[in-house]
Amino acid sequence: MIQNWITVEGVVTSGYQVASGKSKNSPYPRGTLEMQLPFFKDLGLDISNYYLGTLNISIIPKEFKLNKPQYTFRNVKWSPEHDTEDFSFSHCQVIFNGSKYDALIYYPHPETKINHFQNPSILEIIAVPIPDIKYGNSVTVEINTSEVSII
């Protein structure tokens, strides 16, 4: 597969905190990613080395669109309380404080995730632990344009 990498600047913003289980209103105290991990692993993607929460990176005024993500999993029944969902992932790199960190764009398909709005200017990313990162920090994300478009 051809890989053409570009960078996009962004700012770390607060998300719903459901993926990590840190939201006080979350019905998933362990977090959705911890619950989804074994399903993704069985389908061929092991995310166990990543922090099990998402890093929400605003690229406003730009937006992103997944074209041909490296992984797409259809009809994943990860929770008995919900219908199946589709998920896509694309490898990327987060650059923060001069260091690069392995990461994945995490994309729960909105058409299978009822009552959940995800702003198309927010990259939802899972990454290896990144020391000292916090809301408001500027970051750079390296994206494979063969899989993801920045508009």
- Domain count for the chain: 1
pLDDT tens figures, 30-39:
667 888 999 9
Q: Which domain holds residue 37?
A: 5-150
> Which uninterrupted H or E stretch holds 125?
strand 122-127
For position 34, which CATH number holds?
A: 2.40.30.30
pLDDT tens digit sequence for 118-135: 789 999 999 999 999 999
* Spatial contact of 135 and 12, defined as CB atoms under 8 Å apart: yes
* pTM exceeding the 0.85 threshold for the entire prediction: yes
DSSP state of 48: T
Q: How many angstroms from the chain centroid is the CA of residue 111?
A: 16
**CB-based contact 58:10 (threshold 8 Å):** yes
